[in-house]
Structure 1
Amino acid sequence: MELRHLRYFVAVAERLSFTAAAEDLGVSQPPLSQQIRDLETELRTELFRRTSRRVALTEAGQVFLGHARAILAQVGQASEAARAVGEGRTGILTIGLTGSVLNGPLGRLIRVFEARYPEVEIRLHQASPEAQQAALRAGRTDLSFLRSPPEDPDLTVVPAWPERVGVALPEDHPRAAQASLSLTDLAGERYLSLRRADSRFANLLWEACLAQGFVPQLSHEVVEAQALMSLVSAGLGVALVPEQVGRLPHPGVAYRPLDEPAPRADVSALYRAPPSPVVTNFLSLLRDGGQPRPAA
């Protein structure tokens, strides 16, 4: 017995006409009649009473109709569930990130994605860049957003969004009166940094200072950009921070952009290839700039 037999049987049972059922199914009547006869032969019972004037279900046919409809409904549900997963319309998306990344467009991207794919559950996994890389390789996360991502043959890297670097300094600092600063203005300042052992981005900033001819006078290292802002607010030094972090309101902190040449805080998306359908849909949204779809 095949699903085709069940579909043919239900069509005839609902129309009580082989001719009408054949038209609905888009087949000719003789093959349809043969398929019903084959089904009855397999079941060893008649499902229809046929006369020259009408077609009616037998008692066995009435019982079989209920089961056939239930089977076809379950097959339809299973097919739709499989399509939903295959098209990335349902499932789980685990995103690795650092706290500072959420200050940029990612939050809005997640909101638009959830509106577009309400059956996908998004889980956020905050971790250091090194831990994010390990989680991606191990399959514990599906997608990560990092600044200055590492080279890893197991991971694919694509641009997510551009971001500048600026200077966070105490609001009573003499240079807070300037509209912008250069890297060399930081020479001799107490320098606050993300922990270089954990952050390629922190090392990129450090090397940018060296390229401008000075070694930063390191005062404190922390693991999160928000902690940097707290230390700046306390007057413990100045820090190079991503623009999205610096422009948030922080009591006691002034943010000033950097003159060129200046390092960048561009964010990249990382994933294992080939991406899952859910990841593919999120990357597509990222490429579109996270714009909601227009109403139909």
Structure 2
Amino acid sequence: MEMLHLRYFVAVAEELNFSAAARRLHMAASPLSQRVKDLEHELGQQLFDRSTHHVTLTPAGSALLPIARDILEQVGSIPWRLREATKPRRGTLFLGMPAGVHPDLRARVNELARRCADRYELKRWPGTSADLVAAVHDGKLALSLVRLPIADPALDVLTVMSERLGAVVPADRFAGRDSVALAELSEFAYVASPGETTPAYFEQLDHQLTTLGIRKRIRLTNMGYGGVTEIISSEKAFSVSMLDERSPMHGYRLDNVAVLPFTDFHPQLDTGLIWRADRADGGDLDELVETARDVFPEPLAH
């Protein structure tokens, strides 16, 4: 049995569509279907029920899926396991840091680095949440702070901070106000940060705002957080960002921009600390993860 056969099987099992799985694997659907048939022949079990309109797992396929995933995860972990087995006693580990991390959370990260200094030098590595999740999965980063939610069964998540979000609005239009109702913003367009820098949570928030009556949108490309506040200051739009004045995200505010709490809407952004599950339970990061749990006994709230 070849490892590629298991990769093909998992892709089809997760997509339940041979064409979609083939696109994911960068191959044609016909050879993919044949490889799956070869695997079924080798195992002596039918793994999928196929019809013109749908593909479903058979009982044998459902039983094989967690086994195949586990085998692929074990094979994928060989590079970092080998690196860990051959590195010096005190090594350098990298911890991912997304943009806009609150200073109180940074202080906790400093405490974690201090507590594990006798065994590890913990260095920080910047990136978007999506890139940092991938780097932890691949073993390039030991740990990372990321904006939640994430969807990767290979990773464990410890929620370390919850931040209330407010409406970023033109200050002139809301002068003297200390709060705002979402209904008051229906005439404005909602502007989010560019997709490549936006955490998955804000995609969910976008859909939620639509459900609550905010229909207009401004989509930005090749523009950072500063561009968002530039549009808001011109009184054409509003956005949603961290409410706490100490958040680094307030550094992007212009003179005619204010952040107000909602009276009828209560969004919050959670940040988690993530690591590969198989590196913690008896793995090379076991001690570091236990220290992290001590440093973050419960989520910070702001």
1-side partners of 2:248 and 2:186: how far apart? Answer: 20
Q: Does 1:285 align with 2:290?
A: no
Q: Is the 8 A contact 1:144 1:270 kept in 2?
A: yes
- Name the residue aligned to 1:130: 130
1-side partners of 2:221 and 2:108: how far apart? Answer: 30
- Residues 188-213 of structure 1 deviation map (CA, whole Å, 9 limit, x = unaligned): 21332123465312212202201212
1:1-296 pair list within 5 angstroms: 90-100=90-100, 102-119=101-118, 120-172=120-172, 174-196=173-195, 199-220=199-220, 225=225, 228-229=228-229, 231-233=231-233, 237-244=237-244, 245=247, 248=250, 250-252=253-255, 253-273=257-277, 274-275=279-280, 276=285, 277-287=287-297
Letter in 2 for 1:152: D
1-side partners of 2:93 and 2:108: how far apart? Answer: 13
1-side partners of 2:248 and 2:166: how far apart? Answer: 7
For residue 266 of structure 1, give the secondary structure of its aligned residue in structure 2.
strand
2-side partners of 1:189 and 1:199: how far apart? Answer: 22
- Name the residue aligned to 1:27: none
Residue 142 (structure 1) shift:
1.5
- Name the residue aligned to 1:65: none
1:269 and 1:105, CA in 2 relative to 1: closer, same or farther beyond 3 A? same
- Name the residue aligned to 2:6: none
- Name the residue aligned to 1:18: none
Residue 140 (structure 1) shift:
0.6
Root mean square deviation, CA, Å = 3.0
Residue 113 (structure 1) shift:
2.7
- Residues 227-248 of structure 1 deviation map (CA, whole Å, 9 limit, x = unaligned): 5445545666321012244884
Q: Is the 8 A contact 1:146 1:269 kept in 2?
A: yes
For residue 263 of structure 2, give the secondary structure of its aligned residue in structure 1.
coil
- Structure 1 residues not aligned, in runs of 5+: 1-83, 291-296
1:279 and 1:263, CA in 2 relative to 1: closer, same or farther beyond 3 A? same
1:136 and 1:236, CA in 2 relative to 1: closer, same or farther beyond 3 A? farther
1:222 and 1:251, CA in 2 relative to 1: closer, same or farther beyond 3 A? same
1-side partners of 2:93 and 2:203: how far apart? Answer: 30
Residue 171 (structure 1) shift:
2.5
- Residues 170-225 of structure 1 deviation map (CA, whole Å, 9 limit, x = unaligned): 322x1243211222322221332123465312212202201212323225356754
Letter in 1 for 2:161: W
1:238 and 1:104, CA in 2 relative to 1: closer, same or farther beyond 3 A? farther
1:200 and 1:113, CA in 2 relative to 1: closer, same or farther beyond 3 A? same
2-side partners of 1:179 and 1:116: how far apart? Answer: 41
Residue 153 (structure 1) shift:
0.9
Letter in 2 for 1:160: V
Deviates more, 1:155-164 or 1:104-113: 104-113
Q: Is the 8 A contact 2:169 2:233 kept in 1?
A: yes
Residue 91 (structure 1) shift:
3.6
For residue 146 of structure 1, give the secondary structure of its aligned residue in structure 2.
strand
* Aligned pairs, number: 201
> Identical aligned pairs, as a percentage?
19
Larger radius of gyration: 1
1:268 and 1:216, CA in 2 relative to 1: closer, same or farther beyond 3 A? farther
- Structure 2 residues not aligned, in runs of 5+: 1-87
